Amino acid sequence: MQKLVEKNIGETIKYIGAELWELLNKYYFVLIGLFFLHRALHLVPYLSISLTSKIYMFMLVLICFTAYSDIRQDIKLIPFLLLCSVFFLFIFYINEHGYEFWGKMLRWQISKSVIVNLNPIFSKIPFNDGSFARIYKSETLTWFFRMVYNNGFVLPVLFAIYRSALIKDFKKMLQYTLSAHILQIFLITPFYLTFHLQEVWYVLGQPDGLARHLGPQAAAGITLNCFPSMHTSICFAMFLLALRERNRIFKFVFGFFCLSVIYSTLYLEIHWVLDVIAGMILAYVTVKLSDFILDKSKILLEKPLNAFYYKKSKPIYVKNYYLYTMKN
């Protein structure tokens, strides 16, 4: 009798544990979203915390609460977490050493003679200075566009990667990363090493739209490498990939952020119109190239993925036909 009672208690505990795990596995994004919401609301009263930080904390809340429709149910959790661990170690390494590599490239470029100087050419093309983007200017708009531009080189990619991790989609994590800095840095470097083009305000002798208070020597170096606009290429690539997401709210808000970064390059007199157009073309090419790489990789890795990463399918028989469904 005692063994029967112990068995029933054990089965009950096991059943409750399984149900709680299933509930957590289904609604974990809500708990994460509530955590970020609590942090965001906690920051609101503090005047010492910048408005930018508060806005981006609420962006994390949005990412969590718009994840449900895109969550993958066909992958195994442990292999996914292992892949994520390796992936984020790689991201941290790039974040730590990427700017050092970029700095070496810039120093090498400055030490060499300019092959093609585009400054006089671009400055003479009608409407190429993007003056139409500055027909209406205000302090609020200037603050907003400075904020999105200053955070538009890395943050859109990180937001996309974090959301992809939240929905347990490792392929999207790779695609956002490949379509951003990983592939673009190799595609864009030949242009930067070949063409000499500086920011609009510097070439036209206007005040710096970002109000960086640069000295003459610093301004000459920092304003290099405009063609193509990498702010544009990064954000437009993220925009193109975000259009593939299911959740409309995320697509609208994230898409608005990405397009705002692109527009800010014209409003702040950073990039020329042709820089932006070239950046958009580069983004499209990079997204298609990442599609090609991932499609070919999937073919090569199909067997190990099916064995270790994806959940096994089970057939459901309906009369003389059968369908495969995932074991969720």
pLDDT in tens, 85-116: 999 898 888 877 777 776 676 666 666 666 78
Cβ neighbour number for residue 32 with a 10 Å cutoff: 17
Please give the pLDDT value at position 91.
Answer: 85
Q: Which residue has the tokens 């505990």?
A: 13
Please give the pLDDT value at position 328.
Answer: 38
Backbone φ and ψ of 127, nearest 5°: 65, 0
Using DSSP's 3-state secondary structure scheme, residue 37 falls into helix
Q: Which residues contact 64 (CB under 8 A, 6 or more apart)?
A: 29, 30, 32, 33, 36, 166
Using DSSP's 3-state secondary structure scheme, residue 101 falls into helix
pTM score:
0.87
Q: What are the C-alpha distances in Å from 147 to residues 11, 53, 63, 165, 267?
A: 56, 10, 19, 26, 12
Cα 147 from chain centroid (whole Å)? 17
Residue 253 has pLDDT above 90, yes or no: yes
For the segment 117-169, what is each residue's pLDDT rounded down to a tens digit? Answer: 999 999 999 999 999 999 999 999 999 999 999 999 999 999 999 999 999 99
Residue 313 has pLDDT above 80, yes or no: no
Residue 326's DSSP bridge partners are: 313
Please give the pLDDT value at position 220.
Answer: 81
Tell me the mean pLDDT in the region 230-254.
95
188 neighbors 228 (Cβ within 8 angstroms): yes
Tell me the mean pLDDT in the region 68-85.
88
Could you give the angle at the alpha carbon of 274 between the alpha carbons of 268 and 279, nearest 5°?
Answer: 85
Q: Which residue has the tokens 């405009």?
A: 226
Tell me the mean pLDDT in the region 217-241.
91
Q: Where are the domains of the chain?
A: 1-65, 72-326
What single-letter amino acid sits at 142?
A: T
For the segment 9-54, what is each residue's pLDDT rounded down to a tens digit? Answer: 767 777 777 777 777 778 889 999 999 999 999 999 888 888 888 9
Residue 319 has pLDDT above 60, yes or no: no
| Confidence band, pLDDT 50/70/90 cuts, at residue 217 | confident
Tell me which architecture the domain covering 72-326 has in CATH: Up-down Bundle (1.20)
Please give the pLDDT value at position 326.
Answer: 46
Nearest to 43 by CA among 61, 23, 16: 61
Could you give the angle at the alpha carbon of 149 between the alpha carbons of 245 and 115, nearest 5°?
Answer: 105
Please give the pLDDT value at position 127.
Answer: 93
Higher pLDDT, 16 or 254: 254
Residue 179 has pLDDT above 80, yes or no: yes
What's the whole-number average pLDDT of the chain?
86
Q: What is the DSSP string of 245-291?
A: SS-HHHHHHHHHHHHHHHHHHHHTT-S-HHHHHHHHHHHHHHHHHHH
Residue 62 has pLDDT above 90, yes or no: yes
For the segment 270-294, what is each residue's pLDDT rounded down to a tens digit? Answer: 999 999 999 999 999 999 999 999 9
Please give the pLDDT value at position 224.
Answer: 82
Residue 236 has pLDDT above 90, yes or no: yes
Query: What is the C-alpha to C-alpha distance for residues 71 and 62, in angstroms, rounded to an integer?
Result: 15
Could you give the angle at the alpha carbon of 99 between the alpha carbons of 93 and 104, nearest 5°?
Answer: 120
